Amino acid sequence: MNYEHSTIELIKKRVSCRSFDEKELEPNIMGRLTELAHQISAEKNDRMRFVIIDKKAEPGKPPEKLGTYGIIKGANLYIVGIDHKENCDPLQFGYAFEELVLAATDLGLGTCWLGGTFRREDFKKRIELKEEEKIFIVSPVGFALEKPRMIEQAFRGLIGAGKRKPWAELFFQSDGITPLLEADAAEYGIPLEMVRLAPSASNKQPWRIVETDGAYHFFLSRTKGYGIPGYDIQKNDIGIAMCHFELSAQEAGLAGHWETMEDAIELKGSEYIVSWITMVRE
């Protein structure tokens, strides 16, 4: 994905927005957003797709209802993420949806990941779903209000939206115990920091990364009893972290690839997911 602005700056800039100005998007911005949604859909697989829907009513008709339980206000446009109901890969899905979220940020638009706080049936009425498809994630998209509503400020405070865990709780040296400090991460300090800044469901920040010689191993530290029915939302969060890590590494000129290792190291209390294998530049 090629953005107009620095990916690293977009990651730093992006925040969850729940209060929107109802003004319409300029045709060029709307066209570009739709184009990027189609592009990301085409790049991933033949099942995953992302659709932009507009809830504004046609003249003479009542406004459409797209329920978000009062969490979202003023948004007319939504990004709807769809995949195969039985075979959705939350890692790929989370990665792809975050690419589109960053694309919206690149266009000067606000977004907010919604995994459980929306009425799926309302959105299904606006999209022709195939029998084997399901809506997994949606996000409002539009111009953010300069001053968020009090309910949004309260919600952000409740989940600690602006807070991120320190490096010492997220990143570790090869023994899985000793913290990997930012000063010791060298050129990979930026990709790791971009993971630390990533959004996650209820701001649980479930990613843990262990660095060994030439590899960064991603783990999932689950929150017991947390989740949404029918979808591994915390594995989705790891997909977001992978997106931030890879895109910022690419921007920094760091070559590597993802690999699932059969003999991966273990991290107490966490589930191994995938490894980033670095490639030495000649």
* pLDDT tens digit sequence for 195-223: 999 999 999 999 999 999 889 999 999 99
Residues 18 and 136 in one domain: yes
What are the φ and ψ backbone dihedral angles of 189, each rounded to 5 degrees?
-60, -40
The range of the structural domain enclosing residue 255 comes to: 164-278
Residues 25 and 143 in one domain: yes
Comparing CA positions, the residue from 72, 69, 58 lying closest to residue 126 is 58
Rounded to whole angstroms, the Cα distance separating 86 from 83 reads 9
HSE-up (13 A, CA, CB side) for residue 40: 30
Residues 134 and 176 in one domain: no
For the domain that residue 35 is a member of, what is the CATH number? 3.40.109.10
Residues 139 and 203 in one domain: no
Do the domain assignments include residue 219?
A: yes
Comparing CA positions, the residue from 105, 204, 211, 119 lying closest to residue 164 is 204
Residues 143, 110: contact at Cβ < 8 Å? yes
Amino acid at 222: R
Q: H-helix or E-strand containing 93?
A: helix 90-106
Q: How many domains does the chain have?
A: 2
**What does each C-alpha distance from 93 to 23, 114, 119, 233, 238 come to in angstroms?**
30, 13, 20, 10, 10
pLDDT 10s digits, 62-106:
666 777 868 899 999 999 999 999 999 999 999 999 999 999 999
Residues 107 and 181 in one domain: no
**What does each C-alpha distance from 215 to 65, 95, 151, 256 come to in angstroms?**
47, 20, 43, 9
Rounded to whole angstroms, the Cα distance separating 18 from 111 reads 8
Residues 134, 90: contact at Cβ < 8 Å? no
Residues 151 and 20 in one domain: yes
pLDDT 10s digits, 114-150:
998 888 889 998 898 999 999 999 999 999 998 665 6
User: 3-state DSSP call for residue 42?
Assistant: helix
Do the domain assignments include residue 1?
A: no
Do the domain assignments include residue 216?
A: yes
Residues 170 and 84 in one domain: no
Amino acid at 236: N
Q: Which of 123, 155, 187 is the last residue of a domain?
A: 155
pLDDT 10s digits, 217-233:
999 999 999 998 899 99
Residues 171, 211: contact at Cβ < 8 Å? yes
Check whether 282 has a pLDDT greater than 70. Answer: no
Do the domain assignments include residue 2?
A: no
Tokens of 82: 């769809």
Do the domain assignments include residue 89?
A: yes
Residues 194, 244: contact at Cβ < 8 Å? yes
Q: DSSP letter at 183?
A: G
**Which residue, chain included where needed, has tokens 């606006």?**
126
Q: Which of 102, 134, 155 is the last residue of a domain?
A: 155
